[in-house]
A and B are shown apart, each in its own frame.
Chain A
Amino acid sequence: MPTVDQAIALGLTAAEFALIAEKLGREPNEVELAVFSLMWSEHCAYKHSKKLLRSLPTEGPRLALGPGENAGAVDVGDGWVVAFKVESHNHPSAVEPFQGAATGVGGILRDIFAIGARPIAVLDSLRFGEPSSARSRYLLDHAVGGIGHYGNSIGVPTIGGEVYFEEPYEQNCLVNAMALGLARGDELIRSAATGVGNLLVLFGASTGRDGIGGASVLASAELGEEDAAKRPTVQVGDPFAEKKVMECSLELLERGLLVALQDLGAAGLSSSSAEMASKGEVGLDIDVSLVPLREAGMEPWEIMISESQERMLCVCEPAQLDEVLAACEKWEVGGTAIGTVTDTRALRVFAGESLVADMPVPALVDDCPLYDLTVEPPARGLYPAPVATLSADAGPREILLALLGSPNIASRLPLFEQYDCIVQSRTVRRPAQADAAVLALPSSPRGIAVSIDGSGRRVACDPYTGTIEAVLECAANLACAGAEPLGLTNCLNFGNPEKPHIAWQLTESIRGLGDACRALDMPVVGGNVSLYNESGGGPIYPTPVVGVVGELPDVASAGRSGFARAGDAVALAGPFRPTLAGSELAKLRGDELPVGLPAIDVAAVRAAQEAIRDLVRDGSLASAHDVAEGGVLVAVAESCLAGGLGATLDLGAVGASDQLERTLFGESPGRGFVVSGSEDALRRLGELVELAILGVVEGDALSVVSGEAPIAATLDELRAAHGALAPLFA
């Protein structure tokens, strides 16, 4: 029998080990302890975050499927629902970036087709250390390569994403992948195993020793020196295998052959079967001797917790088994009946005739202790000031070019061009054409827009307000595309929650997330938590990544971020309250992170976003672009570059030079919009929101008359500065 020391080595506490014995009525054997240690890991049980997550709003008029299933979904009209979810693959990517990122994409895609939706898009959210570090460049290059390898090969477009470079991610990069799927509303399938006597069929790749303890163990502890030795626990992705599994799954569902479907992710067969049994309030008998193996001699516990990729588990009626297996044969994905639905409410594992594990399903899924966090704001700043890269006496033109070329602002095209963004023929706005990606719905004038966002540095300044900013900025991106936000998914990337100051970051961030979603009437449809993102260098910036999906009634009117016509007026719209504290300019100057960010009038922001959205939709605005990192002048420069047109701005009303810097480069995420259009259109927008005319679209340079010396840069100069990331991929 395993000892308590072995349980502790597997990540459980002595108290948890005792509780397992109590639930079983005896000490667990080797198989049972292996299964419990994973089911009760942070990764599977959310034991340090579940209580906080319960505070998030999860109801909404357009909600089609809320948290609890493999992915959430919203109703986007005309009978279509869009399923979506974001998930982290941080620690595997830090150990082996190409495969870590690739299998992150593979895992999130399985979540989508597991509920019966065809995957239609991938987005990614990446965080690395500064590109001046060779390690960061290596991680970036290989993570981007891995995302592209998987998404491009499986035929799902990667339509957007974001990347930030900050020192606290140097030792602990973040790789979050989001996927969207499309289904008819009545076609979604649940993962609940039902019908005593029905059969459990495993299909897809065979089961090997790869990834044993992989995601579950890696995601539940801090990274340390010995992580190179963990490389064998990172799984290897096979997009070709997944494509066949995906097509087979969708065919099985389309033909109505399945009772339930579930993907195998972290903790493999253990968690997928236990979750299916839990949701269906049934038991399952599994015979591991029937599982097709990649290598001989695997122990029952290894088979139960293997994290081999590209596998699915389904439940079907016995009468349908032959047809299910025939479809598996057609797609060459090797289906095998490995178990039966029972009324025992126990997960029983057999190896041939002998019973090797017998565990109550509620004990596995529901009885893991949930912990209250000890919360304490940090006494002083947790993070050192960034290293200065711009001298304090740089003038406005030099600042503008430095910001445009800074790693967090420079053009992302060198990354995006490595992804297929057009396969499936739905992509109406590609990356860099609009603030949000836009997809057309089949046989309908409608469309959807999606964006993913989250600035860790701002959240580090103020976890509550910084998280509200992330939600507002994501919604602002949708507004610029003409879309109304319908639902949100999130991935909460934080340090070790057992440390009180990290617990405080997490608690405040979730409070901000909930308040922002309630203010926008937008439900949280699901999410993922990635904790213990720490290394010898300290914790990462607290990084809640949010993904928002919205709808457009007429996709042909989707907005663009680039100026479109010479002669159009340019304006700054919205309740924009810029400050330099916490801005990108402050980072370039090496300023300390401020403690706290200015409070936000979310209702006013919402009204402004709705006004922008309405005028994009009716075609009044030729362009709309939210003011994000770098402030107003960077946003104008980005609209110039995206449209290939210059602009002349007159900011003569602005006074002293400290005011000028704040006006030009100050930030107020989610609250300001650079828009262009006819004077009449901008006048109408001005009746709805705060608006200041800045100038006019013209020529092939950006010129600013500011009361002092004019600032001027040609489009070529702006483009050269903005192209700063390209050499990273040369």
Chain B
Amino acid sequence: MRFGVIRFPGSCDEVDAVLACERVPGASAQLLWHGDAELHGVDAVVVPGGFSYGDYLRVGAIARFSPVMESVIRFSREGGLVLGICNGFQVLCEAGLLPGALLPNVERRFICRQVDLEVVQATMPFTADCAAGELLSIPVKHTTGRYYAPADVLESLDADGQIVLRYARDANPNGSSDDIAGVRNAAGNVFGLMPHPEHAVDPLTGSVDGLKIFTSMAHAHG
């Protein structure tokens, strides 16, 4: 299993994501440069956290047009696994690979906090190593993480099982609609979440609950 982690100018958590992927038994990970359209044969793509291109426009709005993202969009249409974390989630929404959008937090401040997430869908390919209803302790850190979609879209996401993670009761840090922390696309091969599973892979630095996302991906790949 080879993970590719995109590095945009302004990415912050790309090295952390590489370290997290490398904790998966048998997996390796490499950085993919934003200006290079070549995905170098990786089996899954991680779009990491940070502030791509400074995010001085709307978050993720510029990154979506980078050469590497054109390839990621094609890769996802061919069924390739794509995980977007935080800024990566924002980029995937901007690219139209995931439904909805991320708005500024209700309190309009950056917030860094360890939160509990409820696994809504414990299914292939991103959460098969979790149990439905399980609580995962994973940190959030963002200014623009309030998940929003129109009511009819939220209803169909719920009905179609596309809501993968929710903030646990009283743990919604940003005012996201329906406490949504992570969603997948209809085909199920693209998943975005605001919390940072790559920062929950080592007991020394907090929790190991986030590792299940990466091991699930490896198991899905086979």
Task: Give min CB distance, A430 to chain B, whole Å.
Answer: 8
- In the complex, whether A420 has a CB less than 8 A from a CB of chain B is yes
Residues of A with C-beta under 8 A to B198: 425
Task: Give min CB distance, A726 to chain B, whole Å.
Answer: 11
Within 8 A of A (CB), among B25-79: 49-51, 53-56
Evaluate whether A332 and B111 lie within 8 angstroms (CB atoms) in the complex, with A427-B205, A428-B204 already known.
no
Task: Give min CB distance, A150 to chain B, whole Å.
Answer: 11
Residue from the list B12, B113, B205 in contact with A428, Cβ < 8 A: B205
In the complex the two chains form, what is the Cα distance from A223 to B3 in whole Å? 55
Residue from the list B11, B107, B111, B204 in contact with A555, Cβ < 8 A: B204
- In the complex, whether A458 has a CB less than 8 A from a CB of chain B is no
In the complex the two chains form, what is the Cα distance from A355 to B9 in whole Å? 39
Within 8 A of B (CB), among A388-444: 416-428, 430, 440
Q: Quick one: CB contact mask for B182-222 with A, threshold 8 Å, 1 for yes?
A: 00000000000000101100101110000000000000000
Residues of A with C-beta under 8 A to B205: 422, 425-428, 440
Task: Give min CB distance, A142 to chain B, whole Å.
Answer: 12
In the complex the two chains form, what is the Cα distance from A244 to B16 in whole Å? 18
In the complex the two chains form, what is the Cα distance from A424 to B12 in whole Å? 8
Q: Quick one: CB contact mask for A205-244 with B, threshold 8 Å, 1 for yes?
A: 0000000000000000000000000000000001111011
- In the complex, whether A155 has a CB less than 8 A from a CB of chain B is yes
Evaluate whether A420 and B141 lie within 8 angstroms (CB atoms) in the complex, with A153-B51, A155-B13, A240-B56 already known.
yes
Q: Once the chains bind, are B13 and A423 in contact (CB under 8 Å)?
A: yes
User: Of residues B51, B56, B202, B205, which shows the largest number of chain A Cβ atoms within 10 Å of its Cβ?
Assistant: B205
Residues of B with C-beta under 8 A to A238: 54
Q: Once the chains bind, are B111 and A418 in contact (CB under 8 Å)?
A: yes
In the complex the two chains form, what is the Cα distance from A243 to B51 in whole Å? 10
Evaluate whether A417 and B112 lie within 8 angstroms (CB atoms) in the complex, with A155-B13, A422-B141, A425-B19 already known.
yes
Residues of B with C-beta under 8 A to A241: 54
In the complex the two chains form, what is the Cα distance from A148 to B141 in whole Å? 11
Evaluate whether A424 and B15 lie within 8 angstroms (CB atoms) in the complex, with A243-B10, A332-B9 already known.
yes
Give the total of A residues in contact with B, Cβ under 8 Å: 34
In the complex the two chains form, what is the Cα distance from A35 to B206 in whole Å? 50
In the complex the two chains form, what is the Cα distance from A425 to B21 in whole Å? 13
Evaluate whether A425 and B202 lie within 8 angstroms (CB atoms) in the complex, with A240-B56, A418-B109 already known.
yes
Give the total of B residues in contact with A, Cβ under 8 Å: 31
- In the complex, whether B139 has a CB less than 8 A from a CB of chain A is yes
Q: Once the chains bind, are A155 and B139 in contact (CB under 8 Å)?
A: no
Q: Once the chains bind, are B111 and A422 in contact (CB under 8 Å)?
A: no
Residues of B with C-beta under 8 A to A427: 205
Q: Once the chains bind, are B12 and A154 in contact (CB under 8 Å)?
A: yes
Q: Once the chains bind, are A420 and B109 in contact (CB under 8 Å)?
A: no
Q: Once the chains bind, are B12 and A440 in contact (CB under 8 Å)?
A: no
Residues of A with C-beta under 8 A to B16: 423-425
- In the complex, whether A579 has a CB less than 8 A from a CB of chain B is no
- In the complex, whether A152 has a CB less than 8 A from a CB of chain B is yes
- In the complex, whether A331 has a CB less than 8 A from a CB of chain B is yes
Evaluate whether A331 and B12 lie within 8 angstroms (CB atoms) in the complex, with A422-B141, A556-B204 already known.
no
Q: Once the chains bind, are A240 and B9 in contact (CB under 8 Å)?
A: yes
Residues of B with C-beta under 8 A to A153: 10, 12, 51, 54-55
Q: Once the chains bind, are B112 and A420 in contact (CB under 8 Å)?
A: yes
Within 8 A of A (CB), among B94-118: 107, 109-113
Q: Quick one: CB contact mask for A552-565 with B, threshold 8 Å, 1 for yes?
A: 00011000000000
In the complex the two chains form, what is the Cα distance from A239 to B50 in whole Å? 12
Evaluate whether A155 and B141 lie within 8 angstroms (CB atoms) in the complex, with A332-B9, A417-B112, A418-B110 already known.
no
Evaluate whether A422 and B9 lie within 8 angstroms (CB atoms) in the complex, with A240-B56, A428-B204, A440-B204 already known.
no
Q: Once the chains bind, are B112 and A421 in contact (CB under 8 Å)?
A: yes
Of all chain B residues, which has the CB nearest A421? B112
Task: Give min CB distance, B56 to chain A, whole Å.
Answer: 7
Q: Once the chains bind, are B10 and A425 in contact (CB under 8 Å)?
A: no
Evaluate whether A422 and B10 lie within 8 angstroms (CB atoms) in the complex, with A428-B205, A440-B205 already known.
no
In the complex the two chains form, what is the Cα distance from A418 to B50 in whole Å? 15
Task: Give min CB distance, A218 to chain B, whole Å.
Answer: 27
In the complex the two chains form, what is the Cα distance from A239 to B54 in whole Å? 8
Within 8 A of B (CB), among A707-730: 729-730
Residues of A with C-beta under 8 A to B143: 152
In the complex the two chains form, what is the Cα distance from A241 to B10 in whole Å? 9
Task: Give min CB distance, B118 to chain A, whole Å.
Answer: 22
Residues of B with C-beta under 8 A to A416: 112
Residues of A with C-beta under 8 A to B199: 422-423, 425
Q: Once the chains bind, are B110 and A152 in contact (CB under 8 Å)?
A: yes
In the complex the two chains form, what is the Cα distance from A555 to B51 in whole Å? 30
Residues of B with C-beta under 8 A to A729: 107, 109
Q: Once the chains bind, are B51 and A417 in contact (CB under 8 Å)?
A: no
Q: Once the chains bind, are A244 and B206 in contact (CB under 8 Å)?
A: no
Residues of B with C-beta under 8 A to A425: 15-16, 19, 198-199, 202, 205
Evaluate whether A243 and B141 lie within 8 angstroms (CB atoms) in the complex, with A418-B110, A420-B110 already known.
no
Residues of B with C-beta under 8 A to A331: 9
Residues of B with C-beta under 8 A to A424: 15-16
Q: Once the chains bind, are A418 and B19 in contact (CB under 8 Å)?
A: no
Residue from the list A155, A419, A426 in contact with B50, Cβ < 8 A: A155
Q: Once the chains bind, are A152 and B10 in contact (CB under 8 Å)?
A: no
Evaluate whether A417 and B202 lie within 8 angstroms (CB atoms) in the complex, with A423-B13, A424-B16 already known.
no
Residue from the list A422, A426, A555, A730 in contact with B112, Cβ < 8 A: A422
Of all chain A residues, which has the CB nearest B199? A422
In the complex the two chains form, what is the Cα distance from A572 to B206 in whole Å? 29
Task: Give min CB distance, A411 to chain B, whole Å.
Answer: 13
Residue from the list B9, B15, B49, B196 in contact with A243, Cβ < 8 A: B9
Residues of A with C-beta under 8 A to B112: 416-422
In the complex the two chains form, what is the Cα distance from A418 to B199 in whole Å? 17
In the complex the two chains form, what is the Cα distance from A540 to B49 in whole Å? 41
Within 8 A of B (CB), among A146-162: 148-149, 152-155
In the complex the two chains form, what is the Cα distance from A319 to B112 in whole Å? 46
Q: Once the chains bind, are B204 and A240 in contact (CB under 8 Å)?
A: no
In the complex the two chains form, what is the Cα distance from A426 to B19 in whole Å? 11
Residues of A with C-beta under 8 A to B139: 422
Task: Give min CB distance, A202 to chain B, whole Å.
Answer: 20
Of all chain B residues, which has the CB nearest A730? B107
In the complex the two chains form, what is the Cα distance from A427 to B112 in whole Å? 13
Of all chain B residues, which has the CB nearest A447? B204
Residues of A with C-beta under 8 A to B50: 155
Within 8 A of B (CB), among A133-149: 145, 148-149
User: Of residues B9, B110, B112, B198, which shows the largest number of chain A Cβ atoms within 10 Å of its Cβ?
Assistant: B112
Enumerate 6 A-B pairs (CB-CB under 8 Å) in ascending A order: A240-B10, A420-B12, A422-B141, A422-B199, A425-B16, A440-B204
Q: A155-B13, A420-B12, A422-B205 are in contact. List 4 more A-B contacts (CB 8 A).
A: A331-B9, A423-B49, A424-B15, A427-B205
Q: Please give me the 8 A-B residue pairs with the lowest Cβ-Cβ distance, nearest first.
A: A240-B54, A155-B12, A425-B16, A420-B141, A153-B51, A422-B199, A418-B110, A148-B110
